[in-house]
Amino acid sequence: MPTLKANKKANLQKHEPDQFFKNFDKVGAALLESLIENDTEAFIEILDTYLQVNRAQVAKKAKMSRSTVQHALSKKGNPTLKTIARIVHESVI
């Protein structure tokens, strides 16, 4: 994919998605909105992206292996509500 350069007159701000996903309040609001909208795919995608930034820390707190957390949120994974609740719970404590 080619890199494009913006016009110097454009007032662009640097986008750092990792910063969004380090802010649990913003992530929590996005997760809640996805549940309100009944968008389970968005919920899993938001949670998975949050965990990509924080996966090792969350897995350790949840007393789960990193691969277990990763598999639970993969396209082939089918986690129970109990597993998701455990991951989310450990993400905020």
Per-residue pLDDT 10s for the chain (93 aa) are 677 676 776 777 776 777 787 787 888 899 999 999 999 889 888 888 887 777 778 788 888 888 888 888 787 888 888 888 888 787 765
Q: Which amino acid belongs to residue 21?
A: F
The model carries a pTM of: 0.60
